[in-house]
Amino acid sequence: MQFLLEVVEILTNYVRKTFDRSTKVLDFHHPHQLLEGMEGFNLELSDQPESLEQILVDCRDTLKYGVRTGHPRFFNQLSTGLDIVGLVGEWLTSTANTNMFTYEIAPVFVLMEQLTLKKMREIVGWPEGEGDGIFSPGGAISNMYSVMIARYKYFPEVKTKGMAAAPRLVLFTSEHSHYSIKKASAALGFGTENLILLKTDERGRVIPADLEAKVIEGYVPMFVNATAGTTVYGAFDPINEIADICEKYNMWLHVDGAWGGGLLMSRKHRHKLNGVERANSVTWNPHKMMGVPLQCSAILVRERGLLQGCNSMCAGYLFQQDKQYDVAYDTGDKAIQCGRHVDIFKFWLMWKAKVGILRRFLSALITNVVPIFSYQPQHTNVCFWYLPPSLRGLPDGEERRERLHKVAPKIKAMMMESGTTMVGYQPQGEKVNFFRMVISNPAATRSDIDFLIEEIERFGNDL
Ligand SMILES: *Cc1c(COP(=O)(O)O)cnc(C)c1O
């Protein structure tokens, strides 16, 4: 018990320091340095048990050499922030240490999941009482569910006979969509060549006419993914126009709202997802925009029965049909997993604690980002280049492109070494490496964004 109290102290100290701006975001070491062992902290597993004192040191140092993703100056990922209610939810979940597959061993959590999914479907705008869903291990898996369920809807015999039972099927998604759609086409046996990429406009949104032009003879167009909040630009595809084309050609419409789905909670910003109620399935990651601790992602399906039909294997040792309670609550056979982590409780608890606050926060967050930059981002992604003074006189040609491409990785490396802040970078299409700052951390203020820009200037000034 004493040990537990000491661990709690380590954790609460960590939490306190995470919000303290004089604490660094990270204490970076290269892999070989960590593997060689730090003072008093050795990653190697030994043959002898260690003392509880050492175990406490190990706990403390594990946090010390990690990255404070909840720090107000961490802008590196779409999932940031350290929400205290959410954290408590995760602790309680681990304490309960149970499994979502049956009502039998997770009665409260299973009901919370059902009620939360129902609420989410209502927010999407589907008629009351319709639909289904499940929490999955992340948006990539939720997107994979959508492709599986679509295939089951149109070609249920694939479940037993395999892809040979279906004609050549193609999927469509934006060139800016998340790579998990491509991964799903590979993993599910469609093949990446049967995923057709759609052109986007200058703000990264799908051009619907390109979809219509690509729905041609020779294959069966089956599935369209529209992204609500692309990962890099934060673009929102025009769902209504895409839905019209899906209806015309009888294609499944999935909305990947892993990043932007949180805006459905905002009266002011939900119009960016107009038409989402016409989707057949929706991915929504509360662990991104809504700040729920990792991980927490839902796949919502409009038609009831498909998840079960597609995935059920009726394992007799778990899902006995003669249990003396309503076995419809044994949701485990809808999943592609067997055991399933309890991702619902922290979200349910946060929802209870702050639904109104969350709404206001999302609105404030998005409104505040806009005036800093010269264009109007659609979401809280802000993509930009930093042009060091030495490149400013150069004409916009090949030489400048080549040199500019190297700027972001160099600044990022210096930033990691110094540990003061973190932001991501990437190339995209023709565009050389640029920074992508994302804001989803309620602890970040305007001054933290200014700080990031000042740090970029400090590191990049002499490049
Ligand atoms: C992050 C993201 C995903 C993947 O979600 P994970 O939870 O990381 O698996 C899918 N789609 C979009 C648009 C995303 O931004």
Express each pLDDT in 349-395 by its tens digit. 999 997 766 555 555 555 544 333 445 678 888 888 888 999 988 89
Q: What is the CA radius of gyration of the chain?
A: 24
Cα–Cα nearest to 351, from 86, 12, 27: 86
Residue 435 and residue 385 in contact, taking contact as beta carbons nearer than 8 Å: yes
- Rounded to the nearest angstrom, the gap between the alpha carbon of residue 174 and the centroid of all alpha carbons in its chain is 17
CA pseudo-torsion sign 54, 58, 59, 65: positive
Rounded Cα gap, residues 373 and 449, in angstroms: 12
| Residue 430 pLDDT level (bands cut at 50, 70, 90) | confident
Residue bearing tokens 């008629």: 127
Q: Top-level CATH class of 98-343?
A: alpha beta
Structural tokens at position 209: 């006419």
Residue with tokens 């009266």: 267
With a 6 Å cutoff on the Cβ, whether 69 touches ligand 1 is: no
Contact 243 CB / ligand 1 (< 6 Å)? no
- CA distance linking residue 346 with residue 169, whole number of Å: 39
Q: Which atom of ligand 1 is nearest to the CA of 285?
A: 7
- Condensed to tens digits (0 to 9), the pLDDT of residues 28-56 reads 999 999 999 888 889 999 899 999 999 99
204: closest CA among 385, 378, 434?
A: 378
Task: Give domain limits for the chain.
Answer: 98-343
Which pLDDT score, from 0 to 100, does residue 369 have?
44
Residue 110 has pLDDT above 60, yes or no: yes
Ligand 1 proximity of 460 Cβ (cutoff 6 Å): no
Answer yes or no: is pLDDT of 314 > 90: no
Measured distance CA(245)–CA(241) in Å, rounded: 7
Q: Is the CB of residue 173 below 6 angstroms from any atom belonging to ligand 1?
A: no
174 lines ligand 1 (CB under 6 A): no
Closest CA to 408 of 8, 126, 33, 76: 76
Looking from the CA of residue 257, the nearest atom of ligand 1 is 13
Residue 358 pLDDT: 59
In angstroms, the CA 7 to CA 13 distance is 10
Return the pLDDT at 79. 84
- Per cent of the chain over pLDDT 90 is 76
CA of 391 to the centre of ligand 1 (A): 34
